[in-house]
């Protein structure tokens, strides 16, 4: 029997495990990563893409803290697009198509060449406990590895079951063993374990697709990298991109699917786990939205060679013969050859309300959970949790307080706070709508918000920290110029405004007031204030955004300060929570059960939102005035 001792043991080599292991090792800990297969470390199990709306924010924040997903994506990316580019900067999202093979190789090589990090290819069957603490893991080979901290990032492998029509098989991912014993170990530790479901689409031989009848979707003319550490100019000049394509389902597709509902595991009772509401299977879409004439399908290349395509929007677990007919009913895929069938997968997860904000479990000391084991879906959500688990396990070993990012500080803070206070009954996906302070949490401000943490932790080097500080100073200087510049409605200035197609002013106005107009662009800024031309176009763009939204940002910051003060307000004894209009029945019941003495205590109850606290304080204030 082999025995080894480590500071931190990470179980699982997916996106969460990679970030956790790298952060742990780089923070000076002797780290062990346990993964079934080295060649599958960093595998992108589902779609060949990273980022998107809100998810792009997570990747940028990861990068600002010193994580690797952004840098790997920049290297492996084959198409880059800014989603919602015509909308406000708070809701834009960077998305990249990736070469799945290249991404996996880069991730694996990172893990294999980082100091302090060992990799073993085994399956963990059990946790080893001592009193109420975890002290190690036991594998299926009966090897025992001891660690001061253990981080579980098991993805969909806990009692994973794959469904393709009536056929089921135990798999953590198609063709790979499921981890059937570890769930029992978690249950025996007193953790609440539930069941979720997700799925993926058929993969098609690219040579059998007629792209000429589909809508071409190219990348941005000037691609934007994810990582703040990537040279933007060189990236935009050298990055080679390949297109995606769009096609649609049709009435024939819908009728075919509907006529086979009786064979769909989703409807026959074969699948018990709850699936993702915001990424439903095609059979679920047809069942719920039968009135729609068609549904978008995005044809995405899986590698730079484009030998195989992912059909985004066609996740399914229908039988193989139905999948074949369904695919061939779609325009451009009449002769399509399926190289891998779509499937659904069920797996165990731990109720995330079992966790502290540090991602350590409340019932078992030194045990941290990250990724889909916490009920999330998506590479980005997993990687964000993995990084924070690695950081907080390391800080604990150093005798320091955990890094808990606030909701007004990062989407990562929103993600973790939502999970540990509200829990989830379906796979959790990040959206911009989940963040109350979106203007403060823009993608491009992630380095300004978070790099100081990464630098202090030793995950961001001095050169990058200096680069971020220079960016901060340049933006501040640009804002100073804007705030110190006023204009009067002289004939000359009115003519200038007309020349750039802007409405005239009638009174003296500050430059910020003019720049904040919806019609005002970067090109107009360079004409209004040519002295800002000494800054790079990237910095000028950031100055423009700061100026446009300055008043709104100030309002959000005022709201944050107000909320911080409110949290100290005492709740009167025998307060009638049921009389508060606007609170959900669930929150009222929680207040009545816990009877919190202050708004601070109320805010820490699982499932209580900032909006609920705001409503409660209004009623407390009204009650105080009456008395």
**Phi, psi of 154, deg, nearest 5:** -90, 0
Closest by CA to 350, choosing from 150, 139, 130, 196, is 196
d(CA 281, CA 124): 31
For 402, the 3-state DSSP assignment is: coil
- Tokens 């080295």 correspond to 38
Q: Decide if 3-195+349-457 and 203-346 have a common fold.
A: no
Closest by CA to 153, choosing from 19, 343, 345, 344, is 19
| High-pLDDT (> 70) share of the chain, % | 99
| Residues 577 and 589 sit within 8 Å (Cβ to Cβ) | no
d(CA 484, CA 223): 34
| Residues 384 and 446 sit within 8 Å (Cβ to Cβ) | no
Report whether CATH 3.50.50.60 matches the domain 3-195+349-457.
yes
Is 405's pLDDT higher than 80? yes
d(CA 52, CA 580): 38
d(CA 17, CA 12): 5
d(CA 257, CA 282): 8
Is 2's pLDDT higher than 70? no
Closest by CA to 355, choosing from 376, 332, 327, is 376
| Residues 116 and 25 sit within 8 Å (Cβ to Cβ) | yes
Supply the angle between the helices 446-457 and 462-483 in degrees, to the nearest 10: 150
Query: What's the pLDDT tens digit per position in 414-445?
Result: 999 999 988 898 999 999 988 888 999 999 99
d(CA 405, CA 449): 10
CA angle 447/452/458 to nearest 5° reads 110
| Residues 314 and 202 sit within 8 Å (Cβ to Cβ) | yes
Is 512's pLDDT higher than 70? yes
For 283, the 3-state DSSP assignment is: helix
Query: What's the pLDDT tens digit per position in 142-164?
Result: 999 999 999 999 999 999 999 99
Pairing of strands 215-217, 203-205: unpaired
d(CA 168, CA 343): 10
pLDDT at 479: 96
Is 277's pLDDT higher than 80? no
d(CA 110, CA 453): 22
Count the neighbouring beta carbons within 10 Å of the beta carbon of residue 397.
17
pLDDT at 274: 81
| Residues 381 and 415 sit within 8 Å (Cβ to Cβ) | yes
pLDDT at 556: 87
- Tokens 């190289």 correspond to 339
d(CA 377, CA 156): 10
**Which CA distances in Å does 447 have to 62, 82, 552?**
9, 18, 21
Beta bridge partner(s), residue 168: 163
pLDDT at 522: 93
Average pLDDT over residues 364-373: 98
Query: What's the pLDDT tens digit per position in 547-571?
Result: 999 888 888 888 888 777 777 788 9
Query: What's the pLDDT tens digit per position in 28-71?
Result: 999 999 999 999 999 998 999 999 999 999 999 999 999 999 99
d(CA 291, CA 598): 49
Closest by CA to 589, choosing from 577, 580, 602, is 577
pLDDT at 627: 67
Q: DSSP state, 572?
A: P
| Residues 64 and 449 sit within 8 Å (Cβ to Cβ) | yes
d(CA 412, CA 420): 12
Query: What's the pLDDT tens digit per position in 571-617?
Result: 998 899 999 988 988 899 889 888 888 888 888 787 788 788 889 98
Count the neighbouring beta carbons within 10 Å of the beta carbon of residue 52.
22
d(CA 299, CA 318): 20
Cβ neighbors of 136 (< 8 A, separation 6 or more) are: 9, 127, 128, 144, 145, 146, 147, 150
Domain spanning 567-626 has what CATH number? Answer: 1.10.150.570
| Residues 414 and 58 sit within 8 Å (Cβ to Cβ) | no
Closest by CA to 79, choosing from 300, 308, 232, is 300
| Residues 318 and 271 sit within 8 Å (Cβ to Cβ) | no
pLDDT at 124: 97
Q: How confident is the model at residue 273 (pLDDT cuts 50, 70, 90)?
A: confident
Average pLDDT over residues 218-245: 96
pLDDT at 174: 86
d(CA 422, CA 416): 10
Residues in the chain: 627
Q: How confident is the model at residue 3 (pLDDT cuts 50, 70, 90)?
A: low
**Sign of the dihedral through C-alpha 239, 227, 60, 100:** positive
**CATH value of 203-346 in 3.30.2320.20, 3.40.250.10, 2.40.30.260, 2.40.10.10:** 2.40.30.260
pLDDT at 391: 98
| Residues 54 and 83 sit within 8 Å (Cβ to Cβ) | no
d(CA 167, CA 188): 31
Average pLDDT over residues 350-376: 96
> How do the residues of the chain divide into helix, strand and coil, expressed in percent and rounded to 5?
45, 20, 35
Lowest mean pLDDT among 263-267, 275-279, 461-465: 275-279
pLDDT at 13: 96
**Which CA distances in Å does 110 have to 25, 72, 357?**
12, 10, 28
Query: Which residue ranges make up each domain of the chain?
Result: 3-195+349-457, 203-346, 483-554, 567-626
């Amino acid at each position: 029997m082999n025995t080894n001792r480590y500071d931190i043991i990470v179980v699982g080599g997916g996106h969460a495990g990679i970030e956790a292991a790298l952060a742990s090792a780089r923070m000076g800990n002797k780290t062990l990563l346990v993964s079934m297969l080295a060649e599958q470390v960093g595998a992108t199990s589902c779609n060949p893409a990273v980022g998107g709306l809100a998810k792009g924010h997570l990747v940028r924040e990861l990068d600002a803290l010193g994580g690797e997903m952004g840098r790997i994506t920049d290297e492996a990316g084959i198409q880059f697009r800014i989603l919602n580019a015509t909308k406000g900067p708070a809701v834009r999202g960077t998305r990249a198509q990736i070469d799945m093979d290249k991404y996996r190789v880069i991730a694996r090589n990172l893990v294999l060449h980082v100091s302090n990090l060992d990799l073993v290819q085994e399956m963990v069957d059990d946790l080893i406990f001592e009193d109420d603490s975890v002290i190690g893991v036991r594998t299926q080979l009966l090897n025992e590895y001891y660690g001061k901290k253990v981080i579980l990032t098991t993805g969909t492998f806990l009692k994973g079951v794959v469904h393709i029509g009536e056929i089921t098989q135990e798999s953590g991912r198609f063709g790979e063993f499921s981890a059937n014993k570890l769930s029992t170990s978690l249950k025996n530790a007193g953790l609440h374990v539930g069941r979720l479901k997700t799925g993926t689409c058929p993969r098609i031989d690219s040579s059998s697709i007629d792209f000429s009848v589909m809508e071409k979707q190219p990348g941005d003319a000037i691609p934007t990298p994810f990582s703040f550490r990537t040279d933007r100019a060189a990236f935009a000049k050298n990055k080679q991109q390949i297109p995606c394509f769009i096609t649609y389902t049709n009435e024939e597709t819908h009728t075919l699917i509907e006529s086979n509902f009786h064979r769909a595991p989703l409807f026959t009772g074969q699948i018990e786990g709850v699936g993702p509401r915001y990424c439903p299977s095609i059979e679920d879409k047809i069942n719920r939205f039968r009135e729609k004439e068609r549904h978008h399908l995005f044809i995405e290349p899986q590698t730079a060679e484009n030998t195989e395509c992912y059909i985004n929007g066609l996740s399914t677990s229908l039988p193989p013969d139905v999948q074949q007919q369904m695919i061939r009913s779609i325009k451009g895929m009449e002769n399509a050859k399926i190289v891998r069938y779509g499937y659904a997968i069920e797996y165990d997860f731990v109720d995330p309300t079992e966790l502290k904000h540090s991602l350590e479990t409340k019932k078992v000391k030194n045990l941290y959970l990250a990724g889909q084991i916490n009920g999330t879906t998506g590479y980005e959500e997993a990687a964000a949790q993995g990084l924070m688990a690695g950081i907080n396990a390391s800080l604990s070993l150093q005798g320091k307080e955990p890094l808990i990012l606030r909701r007004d500080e990062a989407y990562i803070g929103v993600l973790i706070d939502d999970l540990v206070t509200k829990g989830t009954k379906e796979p959790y996906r990040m959206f911009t709508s989940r963040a109350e302070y979106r203007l403060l949490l823009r993608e491009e401000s992630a380095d300004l918000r978070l790099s100081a943490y990464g630098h202090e932790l030793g995950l961001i080097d001095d050169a990058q920290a200096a680069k971020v500080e220079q960016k901060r100073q340049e933006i501040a200087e640009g804002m100073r110029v804007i705030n110190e510049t006023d204009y009067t409605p002289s004939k000359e200035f009115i003519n200038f405004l007309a020349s750039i197609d802007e409405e005239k002013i009638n009174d003296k106005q500050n430059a910020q007031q003019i720049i904040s107009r919806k019609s005002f662009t970067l090109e107009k800024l360079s004409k209004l204030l040519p002295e800002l031309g000494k800054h790079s176009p990237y910095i000028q763009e950031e100055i423009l955004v700061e100026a446009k939204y300055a008043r709104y940002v100030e309002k959000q910051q005022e709201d944050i300060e107000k909320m911080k003060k409110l949290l100290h307000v005492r709740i009167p004894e025998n307060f009638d929570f049921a009389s508060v209009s606007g609170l959900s029945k669930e929150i009222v019941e929680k207040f009545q059960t816990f009877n919190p003495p202050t708004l601070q205590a109320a805010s820490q109850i699982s499932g209580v939102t900032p909006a609920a606290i705001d409503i409660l304080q209004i009623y407390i204030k009204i009650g105080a005035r009456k008395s």
